[in-house]
């Protein structure tokens, strides 16, 4: 099905339908539009303003779909959702000044999670630059620290080359965001002979056969091997090779949140996600291994906790396309700067099965003792506590209904961690979440981007009430373009993760974390949360419903998913003070894990392999 994102023809002041504008000679804005088409761009997420109207006018006359969001941050996260779901370049367009600065959070988010996006901004005319003109800002200087490339085009003839270079840069090596800024007079200029050179991205030297044999020798001697794989596997499109390698080696696998979906959730060698709220068995594996094969990861602080104690007895082999990540957070035994597409060929050529039954049994015992995923039956109406839902109940019930190809986005907070833990992810690029930057408000606009890219695939935003509140206006975008995005709100009336940390670290001093109605009588609970998301959705023309009891959930989820073309919001009230477990406190090691209130790892963590 081809998604129809066209809008009704605009009417003029006299009521006559406006006719398409005849093609003009090549102004700078026309060159921008033409070059974007030539490099394969088919969608631009945008918000109009004075400094980008020339570009919007030109883009309206080429084969590019324009998706106008309700805020520039919605545009950049829409571009991210498009890019994360497809691996293609996501593109957003904003005007100068506040329009440009509203993109910055999303650009930094893309940098943190290695997402290829092209941010295009308009600016004031060149003769006004640096003079504090209306809506002028040096967006290039602002974004240089969080982009792979940021530049301003000062000559219209350089437009094609600048865009080609930016697109090549965004997709090459470790993907990431780029920005190109076009002053308004450059958009309006008509260059006689535009330059249009092609760019070839530099390629890492690759992994030599000698290095591949050295890694194979280390694996052959290992008694406790583990593969620690991350977003680089997804970005490089090598998920199938990861599965093949793990099976060839008979080696357990732990995934980062960015790597979820790189192996099917039900694969016997997959231990699950690792890190602060990851599976205990996965954390045990990487910390008690004697060899860690790290593929496309960056040893993030939320994964390794205390660097000194992380995998302290292991030889670490780190393969990554970004040489700057190797040894940055954790010293390694062998660092290999290579694209995983090249590296897997060498690893598989020398892979030898290593049977270490005691190691597998040890990890499976931990997995059985501390399973991450709760049974879906927890939602049963026969359960004595079934009237009160938890976030885990809701996500587990949703997971049982979703096809493998369904794309899930999330906001940031407790619901994000529950989704990471309890979804059943079987395919890459099906879990889109702000991992490294942790940006609240990410979920809904990212879901819009994914749905625009994949109109025939179910797209569900699992969001929290706090996170959704930051981007709920994008329901209007869903309505405007008929995008069948489903929004599932895990509503506990708190900034849940903030409240959890306040309870654990700050003696329950819950400063500014309650989202309940400040004017409600003390102790009142009439089942109507604040804000009323169902009413808000209706104001945007989006259907919705609320669930307050467990027995209502199955039918409500079925109703939400029934019509794939209909945007829909389901607001589910869950237990107000449920926490996310397991949890490794920040800066601590896996031995300090907390499984629940007052429940530490105890003797299990003390008995290392």
DSSP secondary structure letters along 428-489: TT-EE---SS--TT-HHHHHHHHHHH-TTS-EEEEEEHHHHTTTGGGHHHHHHHT---EEEE
Residue pLDDT, tens place only, 573-604: 999 999 999 999 988 999 999 998 866 655 44
Residues labelled as active-site residues: 72, 134-135, 184, 497
With contact defined as beta carbons under 8 Å apart, do 343 and 232 qualify? no
* Percentage of residues in the chain having pLDDT higher than 70: 90
> Rg for the chain (alpha carbons), in Å?
25
Mean pLDDT of 116-144: 97
Show the beta-strand stretches assigned E in 125-283. Answer: 149-152, 178-183, 225-229, 253-255, 270-273
pLDDT band of residue 529 (cuts 50, 70, 90) is confident
CA distance 16 to 7: 16
With contact defined as beta carbons under 8 Å apart, do 57 and 84 qualify? no
CA distance 316 to 301: 17
Domains for the chain: give ranges and CATH numbers.
28-188 (3.40.50.970), 209-369 (3.40.50.1220), 391-517+527-573 (3.40.50.970)
Mean pLDDT of 448-460: 98
Task: Count how many residues are written for the chain.
Answer: 609
Q: What is the pLDDT of residue 379?
A: 39
Please name the residue that has the structure tokens 């995008």.
483
**Predicted confidence (pLDDT) at residue 377 exceeds the cutoff of 90:** no
pLDDT band of residue 196 (cuts 50, 70, 90) is confident
**Predicted confidence (pLDDT) at residue 521 exceeds the cutoff of 80:** no
CA distance 98 to 204: 38
Query: Is the previous residue joined to 582 through a cis bond, with omega within 30 degrees of 0?
Result: yes
Mean pLDDT of 410-435: 97
Show the beta-strand stretches assigned E in 80-192. Answer: 90-94, 117-123, 149-152, 178-183
Residue 488: which of 510, 506, 463, 507 has the closest Cα?
Answer: 463
Q: What is the pLDDT of residue 525?
A: 57
Residue pLDDT, tens place only, 212-271: 999 999 999 999 999 999 999 999 999 999 999 999 999 999 999 999 999 999 999 999
pLDDT band of residue 398 (cuts 50, 70, 90) is very high
* Percentage of residues in the chain having pLDDT higher than 90: 85
CA distances from 404 to 259, 451, 485, 565 (A): 16, 16, 17, 19
Instruction: Please state the φ and ψ torsions of residue 293, each to the nearest 5 degrees.
Output: -100, 100
- β pairing state of 90-94 and 65-68: unpaired
Q: Which of residues 470 and 18 earns the better pLDDT score? A: 470
Mean pLDDT of 411-418: 98
With contact defined as beta carbons under 8 Å apart, do 1 and 132 qualify? no
**Predicted confidence (pLDDT) at residue 138 exceeds the cutoff of 70:** yes
**Predicted confidence (pLDDT) at residue 293 exceeds the cutoff of 50:** yes
Q: Which of residues 435 and 519 earns the better pLDDT score? A: 435
With contact defined as beta carbons under 8 Å apart, do 124 and 184 qualify? yes
CA distances from 10 to 13, 15, 36, 459, 466 (A): 10, 9, 25, 30, 36
Q: What is the pLDDT of residue 604?
A: 47
Count helices and strands (H / E) in the chain: 24, 20
Residue pLDDT, tens place only, 497-520: 999 999 999 999 999 999 999 887
**Predicted confidence (pLDDT) at residue 382 exceeds the cutoff of 60:** no
Cβ-based burial of 356 (10 A; exposed 0-12, middle 13-18, buried ≥19):
middle
Mean pLDDT of 52-76: 98
With contact defined as beta carbons under 8 Å apart, do 294 and 335 qualify? no
Question: Burial code of 100-120, b = ≥16 C-beta within 10 A, e = fewer?
Answer: bbbbbbbbbbbbbbbbbbbbb
Cβ contacts of 144 within 8 Å, gap of 6 or more: 150
The first and second tokens of residue 354, run together, are 């290593």
DSSP secondary structure letters along 572-583: EE--TT----SB
Mean pLDDT of the chain: 91
**Predicted confidence (pLDDT) at residue 23 exceeds the cutoff of 70:** no
Query: Is the previous residue joined to 73 through a cis bond, with omega within 30 degrees of 0?
Result: no
CA distance 321 to 236: 9
Q: What is the pLDDT of residue 25?
A: 60
């Amino acid at each position: 099905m081809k998604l129809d994102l066209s809008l009704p023809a605009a009417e003029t002041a006299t009521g006559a339908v406006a006719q398409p504008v005849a093609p003009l000679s090549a102004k700078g804005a026309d060159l921008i539009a033409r070059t974007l088409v030539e490099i394969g761009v088919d969608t631009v997420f945008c918000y109009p303003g004075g400094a980008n109207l020339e570009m919007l006018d030109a883009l309206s006359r080429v084969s590019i779909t324009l998706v106008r969001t309700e805020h520039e941050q919605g545009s950049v996260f829409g571009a991210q959702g498009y890019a994360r779901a497809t691996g293609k370049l996501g593109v957003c367009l904003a005007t100068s000044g506040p329009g440009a600065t509203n993109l910055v959070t999303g650009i930094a988010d893309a940098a943190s999670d290695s997402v290829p996006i092209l941010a295009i901004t308009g600016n004031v005319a060149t003769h006004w630059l640096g003079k504090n003109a209306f809506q002028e800002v040096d967006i290039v200087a602002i974004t240089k620290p969080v982009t792979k490339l940021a530049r301003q085009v000062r000559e219209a003839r350089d437009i094609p080359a600048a865009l080609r270079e930016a697109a090549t840069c965004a997709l090459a090596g470790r993907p990431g965001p780029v920005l190109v800024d076009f002053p308004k007079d450059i958009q309006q200029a008509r260059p006689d002979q535009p330059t249009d050179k092609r760019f070839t991205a530099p390629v890492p030297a690759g992994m030599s056969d000698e290095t591949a044999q050295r890694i194979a020798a280390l694996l052959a001697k290992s008694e406790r091997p583990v593969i620690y794989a991350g977003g680089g596997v997804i970005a490089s499109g090598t998920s199938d090779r990861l599965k093949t390698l793990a099976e060839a080696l008979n080696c357990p696998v732990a995934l980062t949140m960015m790597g979820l979906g790189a192996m099917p959730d039900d694969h016997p060698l997959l231990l699950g996600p690792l890190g602060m709220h990851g599976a205990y068995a996965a954390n045990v594996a990487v910390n008690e291994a004697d060899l860690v094969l790290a593929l496309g990861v960056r040893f993030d602080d939320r994964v390794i906790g205390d660097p000194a104690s992380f995998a302290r007895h292991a030889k670490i082999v780190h393969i990554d396309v970004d040489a700057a990540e190797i040894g940055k957070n954790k010293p390694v035994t062998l660092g290999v700067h290579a694209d995983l597409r090249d590296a897997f060929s060498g690893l598989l050529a020398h892979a030898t099965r290593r049977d270490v039954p005691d190691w597998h049994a040890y990890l499976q015992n931990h997995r059985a003792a501390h399973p991450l995923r709760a049974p879906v039956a927890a939602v049963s109406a026969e359960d004595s506590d079934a009237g009160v839902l938890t976030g885990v109940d809701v996500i587990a019930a949703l997971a049982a209904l979703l096809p493998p190809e369904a794309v899930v986005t999330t906001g940031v907070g407790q619901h994000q961690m529950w989704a990471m833990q309890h979804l059943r992810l079987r395919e890459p690029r099906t879990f889109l979440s702000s991992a490294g930057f942790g940006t609240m408000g990410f979920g809904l606009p990212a879901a819009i981007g994914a749905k625009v890219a994949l109109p025939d695939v179910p797209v569900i935003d699992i969001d929290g009430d706090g996170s959704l509140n930051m981007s709920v206006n994008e329901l209007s975008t869903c309505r405007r373009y008929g995008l069948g995005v489903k929004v599932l709100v895990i509503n506990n009336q708190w900034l849940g993760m903030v409240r959890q940390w306040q309870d654990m670290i700050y003696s329950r001093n819950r400063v500014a974390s309650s989202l309940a109605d400040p004017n409600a009588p003390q102790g009142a609970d009439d089942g109507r949360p604040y804000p009323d998301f169902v009413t808000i959705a209706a104001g945007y023309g989006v259907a919705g419903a609320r669930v307050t009891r467990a027995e209502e959930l199955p039918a409500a989820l079925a109703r939400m998913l029934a019509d794939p073309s209909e945007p829909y919001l389901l607001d589910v009230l869950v237990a107000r003070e449920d926490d996310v477990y397991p949890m490794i406190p920040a800066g601590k090691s896996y031995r300090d894990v907390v499984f629940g209130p007052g429940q530490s790892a105890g003797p299990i963590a003390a008995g290392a392999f």
